[in-house]
Structure 1
Amino acid sequence: MRLGRSAWWIAPGMVSLALFAFLLTRVDSDAAGRAYAAYGGVYIIASLLWLWLVENRAPDRWDMIGATMCIVGAGVILLAPRSAL
C-alpha cells in the first residue's frame, strides 16, 4: 500500500463506514438530510485525524480553516431553530 502498511488498515475504516451507513438508515426520514450534514462533519474530522495520526502529516492552517467552516455549517443545519410548517 502507499504507506508501506498492510491492507488490513482498510478494515477498521470499512467497518466504521458500514456502521455509520447503517445508523443513517435508522434516522427518521424527515431528518435524513440533516443526518447527512452531520456525517459530513464526522467525515471531515476523521479525515484530518487520519492525515495527522496515520500519515504523520499535521493539518495546515487551510485544512483547519476549511474544516472549521464545514463544521460550523453542519452545526447550523443541525441546530438551527425551525418553526413547524
Structure 2
Amino acid sequence: MQTLVFFLIAAIGEISGCYAFWVWLRLGKSILWIVPGVLALIMFAFALTKVDASNAGRVYAAYGGIYILSSLVWLWLAEGVKPDKWDLLGVTISLLGTVVILFSPRIR
C-alpha cells in the first residue's frame, strides 16, 4: 500500500511538473511557471526513492503503469478529454506489467 502512495505522489509531481513546462513553452505563459514545475519534479524524484525496492530500474519500470494511468486521469480531469477504449486498453496492459514487476517472486 505504501508503494502505491509513493507512486501516486510521484505521478502527481511528474505530471504537474512537466505540465508547468508545457504551459510555459507550448502555451506561451510566463517563465515563472517553471518554479512550481521544478518543485513538483523534485517531489517526483524524492517520492520514487521512497519505494521499497532493491533496484532503481525496477522501481522506474513498475512506476510506468501508474504514470500512464495518472496521465489519462490528467487528460480527462485537467484537459477535459475523455480517454477512449484504446487508452483504456493500453493502461490495462501497462498496469498488468506493473503488477508482474512488483509482485513476482525474486531470488535474492
Q: TM-score, normalised by structure 1?
A: 0.71
Assess if the C-alpha contact under 8 Å between 2:62 and 2:102 holds in 1.
yes
2:83 maps to a residue whose letter is P
Number of residue-to-residue matches in the alignment: 82
Q: Distance in 2 between matches of 1:16 and 1:43?
A: 15
| Number of the residue aligned with 1:75 | 99
Which entry has the higher C-alpha Rg, 1 or 2? 1
CA contact (8 A) 2:51 2:59 kept: yes
1:54 to 74, 78, 100: 78
What is the identity, as a one-letter code, of the residue corresponding to 2:65? G
Structural mapping, 1:7-22, within 5 Å: 11=36, 14-22=38-46
Unaligned stretches of 5+ residues in structure 2: 1-22
Using the TM superposition, give the Cα deviation of residue 53 of structure 1 relative to its aligned residue in structure 2, in angstroms. Answer: 0.5
User: Which residue in the other structure is 1:63 paired with?
Assistant: 87
Identity of aligned residues (%): 53
The equivalent residue for 1:39 is 63
Distance 1:45 1:29, change over 3 A: closer
CA contact (8 A) 2:61 2:101 kept: yes
CA RMSD of aligned residues (A): 2.9
Where in structure 1 do 4 or more consecutive aligned residues deviate above 4 Å?
5-8, 26-29
